[in-house]
Amino acid sequence: MNAQPDIALARPTPEPVTLRRLGIEASSRWGLLLGPALLLLYWSVLSVTGFLDPRILPAPWTAVSTGIDLIREGRLQENLAVSAERALAGLFFGSIAGVALALISGLSVLGGYVVDGLVQLKRGIPILALIPFMILWFGIGETMKVTVIATAVFFPIYIQTHTALSAIDVRYVELAETLRLSRWKFLSRIVLPGALPGFLTGLRFGATAAWLALVVVEQLNATSGIGYMVTLARNYAQTDVMLVGLVVYAILGFGSDALVRQIERRALRWRRTLGR
């Protein structure tokens, strides 16, 4: 009995080997909208079926119509402009300070000791706990508001920029030395581009932190801004106006994050990474 030929015949033709893909596929530009769209759908269904009491959470279309009314009255854009100005001013000053101090502490030993130590110390104190002191020092006007926002923005920017800067490959520093680059060229061609990915990550966190701080300072004491609009609406139990305020915050947060991501894509074209 000879089973050999049968086995040979039964052997399946080898299938082409395909490796399992570990990297993710190229992502679509609008893919990020999928999550929010699903949430909106869920919310609409709950509102239509009456599961959601409009006094607790109004329907999405109520938010839209109230938003249109507020725009027609001019209140929304007026308050939005004030809020945006505060947030941008805070983002601007916070970013400048974050990058400047990251450079100082990353590029000089003494600077590192002084600045980094201080920053680590301050990290333990929540920014909101500083607000009473900020009011004491800067009053209750715009200076205090912008300072609180700038402080909130400063930390993520500083930490991310500093981390990226410290991670710059020492081989590039050697290269700069053998090419006899000037201090300025070293900074502009090696240090800053090397720290840019970190800075942009910090900017994304910083933008979120800016809106968060904005909400807090505008609800504390203000006579204008989205936060003021929401606080006022709460006093009159206008849930629809409160909701418009929330939606505006959400759009601002999402929009600023998308904007920074877009900048990231542009500025970091040279990278080959998993997530693009």
Partner 1 sequence: MNGTAHVRDLVRRYTLKGVLNGVDLDVAPGEFVALLGRSGSGKSTLLRALAGLDHEAEGSGEVHVPERTSVIFQDARLLPWLSVLDNVILGLGRSMRERGLATLAEVGLARREDAWPHELSGGEQQRVALARALVREPELLLADEPFGALDALTRTRMHALLRRLSEVHDPAILLVTHDIDEAILLADRIVMLEDGKLVLDLPVRLPSAPEERNKRAASVREQLLERLSQPAL
Nearest alpha-carbon partner for 207 in 169, 132, 263, 128: 263
Nearer to partner 1, 123 or 185 (CB): 185
The rounded distance, in Å, linking the Cα atoms of 254 and 221 is 25
CB atoms within 10 A of CB 128: 13
220 residue type, one letter: L
Q: Which stretch binds partner 1 (CB under 8 A): 40-48, 156-164, 174-182, 223-231?
A: 174-182
Is residue 228 within 8 A of residue 215, CB to CB? The reply is no
Residue 266 interacts with partner 1 (CB under 8 A)? no
Nearer to partner 1, 30 or 270 (CB): 270
Q: What is the dihedral of CA 173, 177, 183, 189, to 10 degrees?
A: -50
Residue 271 interacts with partner 1 (CB under 8 A)? yes
Which tokens hold the place of 230? 């929401």
Nearest alpha-carbon partner for 166 in 101, 95, 106: 106
Letters for 125-164 (x = contact with partner 1 by CB under 8 A, - = none) are ----------------------------------------
Residue 75 interacts with partner 1 (CB under 8 A)? no
Letters for 180-219 (x = contact with partner 1 by CB under 8 A, - = none) are xxx--x---xx--xx-x-----------------------
CB of 103 vs partner 1, minimal distance in Å: 17
Question: Which residues would be at the binding site for partner 1 (CB under 8 A)?
Answer: 171-172, 174-182, 185, 189-190, 193-194, 196, 269-272
